[in-house]
Amino acid sequence: MRSFKRYSIQEFKRYLRGVQVRRRIDHIQIHHTWRPRKSDYQGERTIQGMYHYHTQTRGWQDIAQHFTVSPDGYIWDGRSLELNPAGIAGHNQGGLMFEMIGNFDEGEERLEGDQLHAVAHAVAACQERFGLNDDRIVFHREYSAKTCPGTSISKRWFIEQVRRVRGGGQLSSRQTRVKPASAQPSSGGEEVRSSTSSWNGQILRRGDRGELVRDLQRMLAEQGYQPGPIDGIYGPQTEAAVRRAQRELNIAVDGIAGPQTYRALTAASWRGEILRRGDWGRKVRDLQRMLAERGYRPGPIDGIYGPQTEAAVRRAQQDLNIAVDGIAGPQTYRALTAR
Ligand SMILES: [Zn+2]
């Protein structure tokens, strides 16, 4: 029988900092087990039971989830981080999957105490490690008729718990240490900040630090250029990633990120490839931007092809007199970009 590792919150954070992941991770899935219930939990045997069920009965290549949060506040490891999870049918690409042991449907068990504390910390740590905003946290039920992770858990409340943890610790402590500085590009070793805190082409180079660097790193990471940890420090890894991006995007390779690099990184990448509900990423963001610019209201420009984006695609298709199927492909692209 396969064995699993159990981490305390601190151990989990240490593990996460050290782990290398080649696969691109772009969202976090939250699930409850439903069965086993919290009251069924028996330590590692419970995890092994799920492993057995997933691999033997369901025939999957590994346990479905990357992490399992136990009722007593520990985090168990699981599926290899290099594999997409088996969490949400058709929507597992780029996912990092959490299972919380318990049945959190109304009137059953409650997510509280040590378990809530552990899952909030673990999710916050993963957000930081992989550069994922709150809008990259996904509940199973958003893509399924299931109630998972349980009707007693509202997404707003859950995200609020994760935010609270970040406010008291990890994510924002680093931000509060950023000393106020001007938005001027610096020649090195200084904090670089802007009032809007978003990088849009200000010159950044090795030695710079701060929120703008973090934005740049996030953008590089999202596009697969591997800047290392999203830590707001423009070190050798970030510089190497900028060089990789510059080379690939056919602009001058100097390792300094400025307006040209920004323009190249933000240029449209969607050229009519088929996109449909459940898809994620930069191409979806391009599609959303295009829809928004033309008044088709796709909702937030978040790179997630959800119901709002789908509805906007339908509106556009209807308006442009092409087949209305809610799937964006070459025909939709051509119609959107025609005069
Ligand atoms: Zn689920």
Task: Please name which of 121, 123, 144, 143 lies closest in space to residue 134, comparing C-alpha atoms.
Answer: 123
Alpha-carbon distance 211 to 205, whole Å?
13
Alpha-carbon distance 235 to 228, whole Å?
9
Q: Residues 253-261: what's their mean pLDDT?
A: 92
Calculate how far, in angstroms, residue 299's C-alpha sits from the geometric centre of ligand 1: 25
- CATH C-level class of 282-337: mainly alpha
Alpha-carbon distance 39 to 70, whole Å?
11
Q: Residues 283-303: what's their mean pLDDT?
A: 86
Higher pLDDT, 198 or 107: 107
Expressed in angstroms, the distance from the first to the final Cα of the chain is 63
Alpha-carbon distance 336 to 317, whole Å?
9
Calculate how far, in angstroms, residue 36's C-alpha sits from the geometric centre of ligand 1: 13
- pLDDT for 40-89, tens place per residue? 999 999 999 999 999 998 888 899 999 999 999 999 999 999 999 999 98
Calculate how far, in angstroms, residue 31's C-alpha sits from the geometric centre of ligand 1: 4
Numbered ranges of CATH 3.40.80.10 in the chain: 6-173
Numbered ranges of CATH 1.10.101.10 in the chain: 178-266, 282-337
pLDDT of the residue at 339: 59
User: pLDDT band for position 23 (50/70/90)?
Assistant: very high
pLDDT of the residue at 280: 80
- pLDDT for 187-238, tens place per residue? 334 344 433 447 878 899 999 998 889 999 988 887 778 898 999 999 999 9
Calculate how far, in angstroms, residue 284's C-alpha sits from the geometric centre of ligand 1: 24
Alpha-carbon distance 310 to 326, whole Å?
5
Contact status, residue 144 vs residue 153, Cβ threshold 8 Å: no
Residue 183 reports pLDDT greater than 70: no
The CA-atom distances, in angstroms, between 259 and each of 115, 218, 241, 246, 262 are 46, 17, 16, 12, 5
Calculate how far, in angstroms, residue 141's C-alpha sits from the geometric centre of ligand 1: 7
Calculate how far, in angstroms, residue 322's C-alpha sits from the geometric centre of ligand 1: 36
Contact status, residue 155 vs residue 139, Cβ threshold 8 Å: yes
Q: Which of 192-196, 282-286, 299-303, 310-314 has the highest mean pLDDT?
A: 310-314
Tokens of 134: 């709150």
Please give the DSSP secondary-structure letter assigned to residue 204: B
Tell me if the domain spanning 6-173 has CATH number 3.40.80.10. Answer: yes
Q: Which CATH superfamily is domain 178-266 in?
A: PGBD-like superfamily/PGBD (1.10.101.10)
Could you count the other beta carbons within 10 Å of the beta carbon of residue 327? 18
Contact status, residue 317 vs residue 290, Cβ threshold 8 Å: no
Calculate how far, in angstroms, residue 149's C-alpha sits from the geometric centre of ligand 1: 6
Calculate how far, in angstroms, residue 20's C-alpha sits from the geometric centre of ligand 1: 26
Calculate how far, in angstroms, residue 157's C-alpha sits from the geometric centre of ligand 1: 18
Tell me the longest C-alpha to C-alpha distance in the chain: 64
Phi, psi of 210, deg, nearest 5: 125, -170
- Listed in sequence order, the residues at least 6 apart from 93 whose beta carbon sits closer than 8 Å to its beta carbon are 84, 280
